[in-house]
Amino acid sequence: MSSAAPVPTGPPTTTRWRGGLGAFLATAKVPLGAVVLAFAFGSVLIWLSSLVTNHQLDLTLPLKAYGAMLEGAGITLDPAAAVNGLVNTLVQSGPLVLGGLAVGVGFKAGLFNIGAQGQFLMGAVAGAGTGAAVASWPGPIAILAALVAGALAGGAWGFIPGILKARTGAHEVVTTIMLNTIAATFIGYLVSGPLLAPGFSFDRTGDIGNAALPILFGTRNLHLGVFVAFAAVPLIWWLLWRSTLGFEIRTVGANPDAARYAGMRPGLITVFTMSLCGLLAGLAGAIEIIGITHFVNASYGTSVGFDSITVALLGQAHPVGIMLAALLFGGMRAGSGLMQIRTQIPVEIVDILQAVVLLFIAADVIVRRVFRIRRAGPKVDEIETVSRSYGAGTTL
């Protein structure tokens, strides 16, 4: 009607996936930039450490180190080493995929699930306990029982902060951190109490027998659980973008007031989403146990839950992004051994690289400045969820 079309300033920002590598790169600019900067930072660190330890500066040392890391992760021309490395990368990535989803789905609902750690641990101990209890059952049933138990235990550990937030407004960041600690000590109690297996020199859960996940392709440790983990990626993608439930989750995350106004129930969605997050992390824990370690001892610990936060942020809370981020971190872990053997650079450099990636993702201004990336239009992104999750609590 009005002939003067009010024009928005700036280029129109479309939301639909207009396909292709270009669109992917547009979304992935900042994460990719963060990774590049982190590796650059790592190079400086490697130079410095070689200076301190060997009193000489080998300028090519970072290249050698990263090259060895790539080779160890399976990026090599030697077929046997490639299979070896790729399998290792996949196995390392599995729990990070599920853990990353457990944090990323939360971001979509505006929730900062720091509790993937505790949910993972609960899933692990439930999987170990159930696996030991059903060790003599037929394999498929025993495995299923252990996985379901782990998923439910993790789900319960997510449900608690969910219901607390919906009912009382208790912030999930606070409650999940507390639940992480509770989970860690609760495992100690369970393993030295109700789940204690007799006949070992230390406190641990019993053998899981038939509940162990079958190893595929003979020699390697590629277990079935890895595929379960990667299968979750399309499932979660479908849930978020193709189902009405996912639409509700995303709406509550982007604007809880509008969600309520539109007849959605933010409280219910919060409980559901936190439970789903917990379920994914719990599943990761159970898979890790019945796939690799096969038991839990009293001091069982892992950093998967916290690494998952970095994975989710690096993956921009998108299932595909999370999968790629998990593969990157999994590959770094898989290749770090060879790196240490070849160049004497400790594997802990991987932890530093991860931490620096997280730093650059959080301080994306630096990445944007270095690579001259323009900020897109108004957007609720995952960092915003993180930064607003304290104080400016959403009313449900």
Partner 1 sequence: MTDPAPALEMRGITKRYPGVLANDGIDLDLRHGEIHALLGENGAGKSTLMNILYGLAVPDSGDILLDGEPVTIKGPADAIARGISMVHQHFMLVPVLTVAENILLGEETMANAVFLDRAEAHRRIVELGRRFGFEIDPEAKVGSLSVGWQQRVEILKALYREARILVLDEPTAVLTPQETTEIFDVLRRLARDGHSIIFISHKLYEVLAIADRITVIRRGRVVGTRLPSQTDEDDLAELMVGREVNLVVDRGESHPAQPELRIEGLSITDDRGRIVVKNLDLEVRAGEILGIAGVAGNGQDELVAAITGLRRPAEGRVLLSDRDITGWGPRELTDAGVGSVPGDRQRYGLVLSFSIEDNLVLTSYYRPPFASGLVRNDEAIEQWAEESIRAYDIRTPAADVMAGTLSGGNQQKVIVAREFSGQPRLLVLDQPTRGLDVGSIEFIHRQAIAKRDAGAAILLVSAELDEVMELSDRIAVMYRGEIVAIRDGRSADREEIGLLMATGGREPLEAVTTTMSVVE
- Would you call 207 exposed, middle or buried from its count of C-beta atoms within 10 A (0-12, 13-18, 19+)? middle
| In contact, 176 and 162? CB cutoff 8 Å | no
Task: Give CA–CA dist 212/218, Å, rounded.
Answer: 15
**CB-wise, 369 or 379, nearer to partner 1?**
379
318 binds partner 1 (CB under 8 A): no
In this structure, the number of other CB atoms found within 10 A of the CB of residue 323 comes to 24
261 binds partner 1 (CB under 8 A): yes
**CB-wise, 8 or 79, nearer to partner 1?**
8
Task: Give CA–CA dist 28/367, Å, rounded.
Answer: 12
Taking the complex as a whole, the smallest distance from the CB of residue 264 to partner 1 amounts, in Å, to 8
| In contact, 124 and 118? CB cutoff 8 Å | no
At 102, the amino acid letter reads: A
Query: Which range touches partner 1 (CB under 8 A), out of 6-14, 19-27, 111-119, 364-372?
Result: 6-14
**Residues 47-66, interacting with partner 1 (CB under 8 A):** none
**CB-wise, 12 or 198, nearer to partner 1?**
12
Measure CA 337 to chain center. 21
Task: Give CA–CA dist 285/94, Å, rounded.
Answer: 10
Taking the complex as a whole, the smallest distance from the CB of residue 378 to partner 1 amounts, in Å, to 4
251 binds partner 1 (CB under 8 A): yes
**Residues 362-381, interacting with partner 1 (CB under 8 A):** 377-380
Query: Which range touches partner 1 (CB under 8 A), out of 68-76, 91-99, 162-170, 254-262?
Result: 254-262
Taking the complex as a whole, the smallest distance from the CB of residue 26 to partner 1 amounts, in Å, to 14
Give the length of the chain: 396
Task: Give CA–CA dist 265/244, Å, rounded.
Answer: 13
Which residues of 61-197 form beta strands (DSSP E)?
none
Match 């999930």 to its residue by tokens.
172
Among 53, 168, 181, 243, binds partner 1 (CB under 8 A): 243
156 binds partner 1 (CB under 8 A): no
**CB-wise, 11 or 391, nearer to partner 1?**
11
**CB-wise, 4 or 21, nearer to partner 1?**
4
Six-digit token pair at 304?
A: 């998967």
| Nearby residues of 151 by Cβ (< 8 Å), 6 or more positions away | 123, 279, 280, 282, 283, 286
Task: Give CA–CA dist 278/284, Å, rounded.
Answer: 10
Among 200, 215, 257, 299, binds partner 1 (CB under 8 A): 257
**CB-wise, 1 or 77, nearer to partner 1?**
1
In the stretch 8-27, what mask flags binding to partner 1 with x, by CB under 8 A? xxxxxxxxx-----------
255 binds partner 1 (CB under 8 A): yes
391 binds partner 1 (CB under 8 A): no
**CB-wise, 260 or 342, nearer to partner 1?**
260
Rg (the chain; Cα; Å): 22
Strand partners, 204: 297
Taking the complex as a whole, the smallest distance from the CB of residue 257 to partner 1 amounts, in Å, to 5
Q: Could you tell me how many residues of this chain bind partner 1 (CB under 8 A)?
A: 38
Residues forming contacts to partner 1 in the complex (CB under 8 A) are 1-16, 241-245, 247, 250-251, 254-255, 257-264, 377-380
